Structure 1
Amino acid sequence: MNTVNLTARPVEPPTVLCEVKGQVGFISLNRPKALNALSLEMIRALMACLLAWRDDAAVKAVAIRGVNKNGPFGAFCAGGDIRFFHQAALANNPELDDFFTEEYALNHLIHTFPKPYIVFMDGIVMGGGMGLCGHGRAPAFATGQMASLRIVTERSKLAMPETLIGLFPDVGGGYFLSRCPGRTGEWLAMTGEMLGAGQALSLGLADVCFDAVQLQPAWEDLAKIDFAQSSKVDAWVAMYSVATSAGATGARGQIDHYFAMESVAAIVQALEAENDEWTRHTAALLRKRSPLMLHVALEQIRRARTLSLADDLRMERDLVQHCFHPVHLGRTGSQSDTVEGIRALAVDKDQLPRWNPARIEEVNAAMVVPFFASPWTPDKHPLRDLI
């Protein structure tokens, strides 16, 4: 008699956990093995959850965290699922286009969310994770009640490292990086440098620092707050806040000097003409990035300074379309710097991307300018409804 193995395969837990306790909607990103890298499924779950809570009078605020392999906190979000990007680009999977359209719509919803939005930015916060942080939101209430609170810890590591994979700092990166002081936005967008808590605070990318050991009680105490009383919220922030060093961002004067220069080539050549530790380090970082996408990222940040978030996200949706469909370069998606960069970093892991062009000095305006031409008319743009 033949037997059948009826052992059930383990059921995978949801990648986004949502629950309401007290007056707060609590969200936990729950894909710890991937450092909570965002999938299309996660983006859709987050969108559904936030839309429901936006219109629920019983929910007065939202809090979001990332779950680590060893429990809550410790890893917020490492960005988008770049292995999915690679597979989808090679297979011409239309879900790749859906991913970016829906992710950017989610970024806009978070930015315009009409209730306090509290982000526990513990551990890795990169790329798409930065887009979940509600950067640059203005107070939403006449009472002055907070619209968002971006909490970092001594374990926080923030970065927009997209040029390393042949992409650009998207998810509204043009908007929030361009509003960093001086030329630090260009510096962060091009180099992908990682920031600690003090640096993030000094550049306006975070609001307050908590001790990582106290995150769980802080999270639990949120459910006890009456959000109609702003003093209660202030007391909660004061109870858990800790001092942190201001966090120097390298040589700030040098950043403003070099990254105000007209072009990528001018920046790199000026850096290489010097011989101190900071200029050598910075020039070496830039030489490892996609030459083409360095040019795109520099132009992106400078254009974004005068754009609303909605217009910036529409521009970034245009840019990412050209990244994966580089028709103006006479290439297929599989031949793009983006697919090549992901291959080198996360698929073959040889760390040897074959950029095209190979050198910063070989990039010209004819390669860069078409990235900023929308493939859609305004009435057909996938993000046309953002305001």
Structure 2
Amino acid sequence: MEHTEVLVERSGQLGHLILNRPKAMNALNHAMVLAMMRALDEWEKDDGVATVLISGAGERGLCAGGDIVSIYHDARTGGNGSEQFWRDEYHLNARIRRYPKPIVTLMDGVVLGGGVGISAHASHRIVTERSRIGMPETGIGFVPDVGGTFLLSHAPGEMGTHAALTGSMVSGADAIAMGLASHFVDSTLLPTLVAELAERGADAVVGRYGQVPPESALVQARWWIDDCYCADDVGTILERLARVGDPAAQAAAETIAAKSPTAVTVTFAALRRARVLATLEEALDQEFRVSVRALRWPDFAEGIRAQLVDKDRNPQWQPASLAEVSQELVANTFAMVGDRELGLSRAEV
């Protein structure tokens, strides 16, 4: 299986899933999602597997998100392959959260979007000094998904709102402070940690290698983050950020202002709605509705074009301002989708 996009390996009592598209920074495609689900189903019934490990091939990171090429094609042509991809991907996210055996994820290097979905819901989430974690969806006219709205909305204070609206990457220390990760380990120790997982339980091994993380820059900035982002709308957030007088706050305001007005408005609404949801499954159901609606926004295809296809970094958003984003559009984005509902919150996961 060495040439497949997900390597499925066994070592002692460890089942190891390795995302194996290093040239694409291990971006997830539909076949990879299905392969991971099959392995998890098999290992759940295998008494010889005590722990599951998820890692990425290569040196750049665990996973740079979903494979955007097919999604871009659907956004431009009206196709619906992305809907089935999201359906299976979100089921995988929920499966990881509820898995009856420990799942250890190595969030080393870059972990973006869909990469967060297969790592930050696990029982043991390891970050390192090289970790750069983010949900950059607003920059391509999309909204955080894969349970991202649930994770970010439940982060302390307004750190998650800041990360979601700006789409900025955070450090491993920030990820622990936000609840996206559980343990900080020096990257040079990961090979030894992985080897020990084959023989010993996840709690003992990860606990042994876990270290006190460095200070979190986001925690140090909470004095302005919490005050600015607790507002009731994005426009007020931008006004407050501009008044803080801190260069980081000003940079955040400029970053958000350059994102898709539709995407940041709906993202903010999604976070506030997810904050009062009790389970990840409820949030994934909500995110599925938003995703299938966002696929038809002009901003989604335009954002991918500007950032990843033509790479001119000059998206032409429609509408071009926050004031032009109607409350009707926002409300419709969260409306039920009939018999296409994901239905995770009604099912046993």
- Fold similarity call, TM over 0.5: yes
Q: Could you tell me how far apart the structure 2 residues matched to 1:13 and 1:355 are? A: 40
Distance 1:108 1:235 in 2: 25
Q: 2:84 aligns with which of 83, 88, 98?
A: 98
- The answer to whether the 8 A contact 2:74-2:295 is kept is no
Hey, which bits of structure 1, 4+ residues long, moved more than 6 A?
none
Q: Superposition pairs for residues 128-147 of structure 1, below 5 Å?
A: 128-135=114-121
Contact 2:131 2:172 in 1 (8 A): yes
* TM-score, length basis structure 2: 0.94
Work out which of the residue numbers 332, 335, 345 in structure 2 matches 1:373: 335
Q: Is the contact between residue 160 and residue 178 of structure 2 (CA under 8 Å) also seen in structure 1?
A: no
Q: Deviations over 1:256-300 (max 9, x none)?
A: 111100101111122224443122111111011111111101110
Task: Go from structure 1 to structure 2 and tell me whether the alpha carbon gap of 1:281 and 1:40 turns closer, same or farther (over 3 Å shift).
Answer: same
| 1:1-387 alignment runs, 5 A limit | 13-68=3-58, 74-135=60-121, 148-225=123-200, 227=201, 233-249=202-218, 251-307=221-277, 308-326=279-297, 336-377=298-339, 380-384=340-344, 386-387=347-348
Q: For each residue in 1:172-215, what CA deviation from the matched residue of structure 2 results, as whole angstroms up to 9, or x when unmatched?
A: 01111111001112111111121111111122211111111121
Q: Secondary structure at the match of 2:152?
A: helix
Q: Would the aligned equivalents of 2:151 and 2:179 in 1 still touch at CA under 8 Å?
A: no
Matched residues in 1 for 2:85 and 2:244: separation? Answer: 42
Runs of 5+ consecutive residues of structure 2 not aligned to the other structure: none
Contact 2:224 2:244 in 1 (8 A): no
Query: For the Cα contact (< 8 Å) 1:108–1:386, is it kept in 2?
Result: no
Match of 1:76, SS? strand
CA deviations 1:95-118 (Å, max 9, x no partner) are 211111111111011111011000
When the two structures are superposed, what TM-score results if normalisation uses the length of structure 1?
0.85
Q: Name which one, 1 or 2, has greater alpha-carbon Rg.
A: 1
Return the alpha-carbon distance in structure 2 between the equivalents of residues 32 and 16 of structure 1: 11
Q: Which has the higher helix share?
A: 2
Amino-acid identity (%): 38
Which letter maps to 1:50? L
- The aligned amino acid for 1:268 is L
8 Å CA contact 1:105–1:386 kept in 2: the answer is no
Cα separation, 1, equivalents of 2:57 and 2:244: 44
Separation in 1, partners of 2:160, 2:52: 28
Residue range with higher mean Cα deviation, 356-365 or 22-31: 356-365
Q: Matched residues in 1 for 2:44 and 2:234: separation?
A: 42
